[in-house]
Structure 1
């Protein structure tokens, strides 16, 4: 701890990349020169039923946060912010498509709503009625279309790097946007937890989330250095790919290791909070190091009442594709892939390009 009794937070972090050992550090590259270079589409497993008191809107936004769109819907429809629902938070500097819901019991859609939103850069692509509000975290995945430029896009080893990620998976780091510019969310979180977390100081839980994300990334970085980020350890809790289903493993056998190699299942790490970790043995030893290094952050999360959870240490890229082509300023690459909700495309990009924002 520092002189003020606060846990040390080193920024920028030196979290290791998986591919560096075999390929070296990636070359410099750009990935978001304009919002059109970063396209995201939310994937739901269901659609509006066609009737109900909630108006669902499938929208495309450009250079806007999800919260900004929610506020505009609240204003245009003359409802409270609580009447607006969405599943996931999407990047601002991007072109993204996602569903929103607005509770309008006994009311028709406001006249000229589509036109009013279009003026703000929000295109309504589809709409329908549904009996229920759209809840957070109900989408299954996000589909990404990312344009990469610069030396990294022209690197002859790009295909080999990409193939390795497709074969072995990607380290499931929380992205830098979770921590704010220069890690400022963590500085605020550390101070808040030191004096005692109160909801009025962190209404949407952003600072609690940033703290848990830091601790998870530190755990994942340690497992990468140890060489066990993708291999179940004795006492591991593993998660089935594409689901939240988990089970403990006392001693990994050959079949389980083969399933891990096929990306059927992944080791998990703790999202710190109140509760007892299901991990045991060697896997639990790695988790036990977190409160030793960050006693104030771990204790602060527990005192705030955050419940312990688990997150996969690894991601599998779904339907991945890499295309190269010549652009006006040199070689370009288009990366297309899907990730489960809660995963960050920046975790994929940091293995392929060197960029200060990663």
Structure 2
């Protein structure tokens, strides 16, 4: 995510650092369903420290003596954190290995249940975060006002920096792929997502700069809160105004693909104008050529149950929940300039790469 993207709430009110240790970034998946209690898939709830999802899945496969394809998980979690998430293990004979053999200092089994299906990607309601900011500099009154403003108005629903890879090179690699460079399947999926995210962030950045990211334009396409369902355009009305104010609906932006933009009038002009400058045309053409279809994403994100407390004079703890696909880092960005202290902190044994996916 480019540092040049505008902030919605004004100039930074603090500087700080986070992820000084994995315990400073805690993430718990919010389950979207309950286990069936029967079936051939063992559903495990694990807590892991300084370990990304792919590395954990590999360890589970080794423990169970099954291929990695037999392991399912709903979302990717960064290794620079303490995280709780579900995994499923396909065990056709319904014989579970000794759970104690999977336990270690950095991986704990919290719960195990049988389930009817493999856990698919995206099968979570969201994530709950507990974040600790250290070396906080700024006026406490201004910081607390900003937290209240974020709780009341929400933040722009940018794609976070994780989507763009280390050094932000995923977009450049996507352009190379569209120009003919061969990529592995998993790389291809990641780069297509980065290309879409870049275009979405450009549109959202234009609307943040114009201060209309959380209100409707003429020709707006609306997204229902908590779903991917969209409707519109339709004439502005008191009913739409009430639903917008209640966070029942949100303005939306394009996830680029083949087909016509659904927006009309002013909203469509804004989207098209935001995607004229390089490398947007090449990204648009490349995405259209893959057969991906036009989709939408909400422009506005409201953290749920946002709370804060001062652990020490320069140590601030934040707690909130976000829907699946949203990024905790975009919430932090609206507070100020917060440096990531994790890079030099974690051992390579936890996995060679961090996740290039959402928080």
TM-score using structure 2 length: 0.89
Match of 1:161 in 2: 146
Q: Which structure carries more relative contact order (alpha carbon 8 Å, separation 6+)?
A: 2
Q: 1:208-287 to 2 correspondence within 5 Å? A: 208-287=192-271
Q: Which of 96, 111, 115 is the matching residue for 1:130?
A: 115
User: 1:66 Cα deviation (Å)?
Assistant: 0.7
Determine if contact 2:17/2:135 at 8 Å carries over to the other structure: yes
Aligned residue for 2:13, secondary structure, equals coil
Secondary structure of the corresponding residue to residue 40 of structure 1: strand
Once residues 114 and 123 of structure 2 are traced to their aligned partners in structure 1, the CA distance between those partners, rounded to angstroms, is 17
Deviation at 1:270, TM superposition (A): 0.4
CA distance in 1, matches of 2:129, 2:275: 35
Report the Cα offset of residue 157 of structure 1: 0.9
Contact 1:153 1:332 in 2 (8 A): no
Shift of 1:12: 4.4
What is the distance in 1 between the residues matched to 2:271 and 2:186?
A: 26
2:301 alignment counterpart: 315
Cα deviation, 1:237-283, whole Å, max 9, x if unaligned, reads 11122222221133322332233233221100000012222211111
Matched position secondary structure for 1:33: coil
Query: Structure 1 CA distance, aligned partners of 2:7 and 2:90?
Result: 44
Tell me which of 44, 47, 52 is aligned to 1:57: 44
Rounded to whole Å, the distance in 2 between the matches of 1:153 and 1:70 is: 41
For 1:71, the equivalent position in structure 2 comes to 58
Moved over 6 A (4+): none
* Equivalent-residue separation in structure 2 for 1:120 and 1:288 (angstroms): 51
Aligned residues: 339
Q: Tell me, in whole angstroms, the C-alpha distance in 2 between the residues paired with 1:73 and 1:184.
A: 31
- TM-aligned CA deviation for residue 25 of structure 1: 2.2
CA contact (8 A) 2:156 2:300 kept: yes
- Corresponding position: 1:181 with 2:171: no
Inter-partner Cα distance in structure 1 for 2:331 and 2:284 = 28
Aligned to 2:325: 342
Distance 2:325 2:304 in 1: 15
Report the secondary structure of 1:158's partner residue.
helix
Relative to structure 1, the CA distance from residue 125 to residue 154 in structure 2 (aligned partners, 3 Å threshold; closer, same or farther) is farther
Cα drift, residue 45 of structure 1: 2.9
Note if contact 1:233-1:251 (Cα within 8 Å) is conserved in structure 2.
Answer: no
Q: TM-score, normalised by structure 1?
A: 0.89
* Runs of 5+ consecutive residues of structure 1 not aligned to the other structure: 1-10
Q: 2:91 aligns with which of 85, 97, 104?
A: 104
Separation in structure 2 between the aligned mates of residue 319 and residue 151 of structure 1, nearest angstrom: 22
My pick for the range that moved more, 244-253 or 276-285, is 244-253
Q: Which of 112, 118, 127 matches 1:142?
A: 127
- Asked if 2 retains the 8 angstrom alpha-carbon contact of 1:234 and 1:283, the reply is yes
Q: Give the match's secondary structure for 1:43.
A: strand
Please name the residue that 1:3 is paired with: none
**Distance in 2 between the 1:147 and 1:26 partners?**
16
8 A Cα contact 1:194 1:296, kept in partner: no
Structure 2: tracts of 5 or more residues without a match: 342-359
Root-mean-square deviation over aligned CA pairs: 1.9
**Residue 34 (structure 2) aligned to one of 30, 47, 50:** 47
Q: Does the CA-based 8 Å contact 1:199-1:205 persist in structure 2?
A: no
